[in-house]
Chains A and B, each alone.
Chain A
């Protein structure tokens, strides 16, 4: 059954890719949506089987031997275990809703079948990523989702900004991927296997003899570097804000709910390896996550492009997930991954509805007053924003609470950063909601209205999930998600009966953020933050610094090598040699005298030399 979960969306992509133009819009939509729905239903069925057995053993389906030379042998194989099941459900579930939404959103686009081809291909690739039974199959999915991301960011490729953003995303990801590849090699060099089950077996129980081994630490660091690329963490986050050039449903599915969480998934997938790699989790993963969370949240405060606000928010929330992983709370990270998929997808779909209604306008300064004309979109955005802010009883509250709790148990500094992020998050989420939906309509002549049913129903679904999705992992509901993932992350933090006072503080901070955001923007005016505001708007100068320190020198070096070194020195040296040959030939030509006796002497001399050599050798 498991391979079919991948095969269905892949088949959808093939059908739409090869004959999509002839199916008509209705046919294309049906193929694409049903393929993902089928994958979702299969995932549900396979998950039920997993829930039924208490040990939840990983089930591996081997398809064929893929790459094999001497002692290196890797199969194309899928693995079904709680972690892959959770991700497969999120990917196909949220993916299905967004496919349906796209039917409405893209209805007027001339490249309808190309869009759904890419979208189905993305779902298939993401499923390869989460279902791969070894690091190399995972890497196939990892790179293919990168390809789909490239294609979908640059979907409207005639826009130079879109084309450039797609390329930037792929190249920045490739930097992480290069580290990832070397990380894969390190794992193989150390353990002699890339199979997850084998890695778990060899490194379970804290890693045994290999605990803290330098090779293991290097491998974990390299793999984490790969994760920072795909999951847009510091220092490789720069591609994600630009990725908003793609169609909004794509931003929702790929650049918020699923693909960007692949880095979190990777760490979870190799959990024993990271646990055994000594200080990597605590000293690298947690600080990078915390720093990214606060950094990106602060930048989100100063963005006017609604989608960019959400993009920085995604980066920040992913930071939370890494923070949780670093603090040893794997289950909290995946709980938040799930709720974030709900509420962030909802926020993006609401933003998409706004764009749909106001002819692509996305600048918060030119929006406003949409509350009355778009009640459903308004409801969706507010539920999403409050969930993001961590206001109870919405889903984001429960998962964020788990993370804050883990952070507090882990390190005071991390906890403080996490709390500060929580405040800033509530602030910018409220700001965006106020600027877009409150006040007077920016354009009194426009008549925006809620989207058609194909777009409305997926939002309704996500509203429900964002509001009540917290039941999946909430303590008082018996933390079903934690129990489900227990074979992977163990019973970490068994004593996590979250104290009342702790919750109160966290909620107070979030509410303070909401109130501050409301107060500062109640008149739809931006408070002047002075130099801080300028620094925030310029992402603290990171992008500019990269441009100065990496992009421009690299271009200059390439130019230098091409024009001076290659066309200059190297070619001239080599051609000089060739010249020498020509001149030597010219010199030798004078030996051609036509004098037979002279030739005979030459032949004789040569023969003597050769004979002498033969004798003396």
Chain B
């Protein structure tokens, strides 16, 4: 498999963005071109997924080029079992989000599409970069389009939400930049593969700097308060991408950098992260329950679900990590779909207040059926993707300490509580007069939801292709953490 595939995957949306920028302002044309563009990375990611060797722990496809040769900063992309599922998810969610929200944005369509395509390049780059400076550039590049997407096409409190999103993430980014600079000064390289074999100084501080940056992005309790605002105010496609992909940058970063580069510290800090994960699971669910705004409810459900990911990551065993990785994908699909549902409702009611709905299932039966699939996927019903991921995380947690699993299992109850409460208020009950006039599900909305539901069922019923592609990488990472930690007891801030 040629290595240019990686660059092509990352930069094809950028090329599409340029094309869209050059085309005349005919909204239908621009949207069509943008969607067709996102099919390119989808096809390439599909090819990567198809070709991925099973049982290969390392980066099985890498691409190198010199970028700033004078100081040894390289252009380095690579894919392994940990990044592949997220690349596939990204490539899948962008076209789905664009199709599902076909004409939801009607002002400054060109700018909107250009920003979304730029965003896709940045997200894909984040997941594929193997050079820390390159990673940082992509990481920061995500911020800019997202800031404008919220700030320009968001709802009433968009300016506040956009600024809050930007400030929180920037605060983390600054720390991460310092850590990257420190790494470079200490080792003379920012190449991930070389760092793997290098002696790293001040691991505790470096870990902490990276971890805070990622924890804000996840977001981990108590750093999550930017998320409900940003999710709620963003336009639908923005929410889908924000919840589905941007949060995964945080969890991906925790796995890729915190765990891999600083295994000893990660092991020492694991109880803290597990505790924050479990608190997030329960706290997010509890807060979600009383939200009157359906979009805020979904946003807080993300806090809860991402708690499972963090818990699974830091139990440091194969099942937990594999579950966390799968749960990143699952959350992208399910919560992306939930935001799409909310978007469909918002398009018709122009409100997100649940009290304004009632009886939607009578007026839009197909939509209601698809919605139930999505809701139960989010509630981790067996047969859907959510169950496979959550169960693996719980299994991993149980191996670590049954008490973690018992606490986290409380999330299983709570997710049913808040999600079904939402279903009852929005979809069931007598049909309200405002709801009676809702237009039926439109073809593009249906197509996007059907695609997501198929993904839900695929991973729920036959997750093997996903698990098998990451199993070797997961096991080797778990071994790395276990063996290094056994070899030397870590000192906070010191060298082994």
Contact = CB atoms under 8 A, between A and B. Distances in A.
Contacts of B58: none
Interface stretch (A169-177, A195-203, A589-597): A169-177
B357 interface: no
A617 B361 CA distance: 66
Nearest to B429: A160
B381 interface: yes
B362 A69 contact: no
A140 interface: yes
Interface in A144-175: 144, 147, 150-151, 154, 157-158, 160, 163-164, 167, 170-171, 174-175
A178 interface: yes
B376 to A, nearest CB: 7
Interface string A544-562: 0000000000010111011
A571 B319 contact: no
A538 interface: no
B272 interface: no
Interface string B49-77: 00000000000000000000000000000
Interface in A5-39: 17
Contact of A174 (B201, B413, B424, B467): B413
A66 B458 CA distance: 11
A140 B386 CA distance: 12
Contacts of A582: 167
A263 B447 CA distance: 40
A412 interface: no
B223 A178 contact: no
A506 to B, nearest CB: 41
A472 interface: no
A188 B391 CA distance: 12
A614 interface: yes
A578 B226 CA distance: 10
B420 A67 contact: no
B420 A68 contact: no
B382 A70 contact: no
B417 A171 contact: yes
Given A558-B290, A574-B223, A578-B168, A178 B412 contact: yes
Contacts of B440: none
Contact of B287 (A179, A185, A566): A566
B463 A66 contact: yes
A71 B412 CA distance: 24
A494 interface: no
Interface stretch (B334-342, B345-353, B399-407): B399-407
Q: Give the dominant DSSP class at A's interface.
A: helix
A577 interface: yes
A561 B418 CA distance: 14
Given A555-B290, A578-B171, A617 B201 contact: yes
Interface residues of A, number: 61
A154 B424 CA distance: 10
A108 interface: no
B395 A143 contact: no
A581 B319 CA distance: 40
A189 interface: yes
Task: Give the interface centre of A150, A185, A582, A617 by most chain B CB atoms within 10 Å.
Answer: A185
A476 interface: no
A542 interface: no
B369 to A, nearest CB: 8
Contacts of B421: 167
Contacts of B405: 182, 185
B147 interface: no
Given A555-B290, A575-B225, A185 B318 contact: no
A6 to B, nearest CB: 13
B125 to A, nearest CB: 26
Contacts of A520: none
Task: Give the interface centre of B170, B410, B423 by most chain A CB atoms within 10 Å.
Answer: B423
Given A158-B430, A561-B286, A189 B398 contact: yes
B388 interface: yes
B367 to A, nearest CB: 14
Contacts of A158: 359, 362, 428-431
B225 A566 contact: yes
A160 B224 CA distance: 35
Contacts of B467: 67-69
Contact of B319 (A70, A144, A174): A70
A55 interface: no
A185 B394 contact: yes
Given A574-B222, A574-B225, A167 B318 contact: no
A139 B382 contact: yes
Interface of A: 17, 64-72, 114, 136, 139-140, 142-144, 147, 150-151, 154, 157-158, 160, 163-164, 167, 170-171, 174-175, 177-179, 181-182, 185-186, 188-189, 555, 557-559, 561-563, 566, 570-571, 573-575, 577-578, 581-582, 610, 613-614, 617
10 contacts: A68-B467, A72-B392, A114-B365, A147-B381, A174-B416, A179-B409, A185-B394, A558-B287, A562-B290, A575-B164
Given A562-B291, A578-B164, 12 more contacts: A68-B468, A69-B323, A70-B318, A136-B391, A175-B413, A178-B412, A182-B394, A562-B286, A563-B290, A571-B225, A574-B225, A614-B185
The 5 tightest CB contacts between A and B, nearest first, are: A163-B428, A70-B318, A571-B225, A140-B382, A157-B428
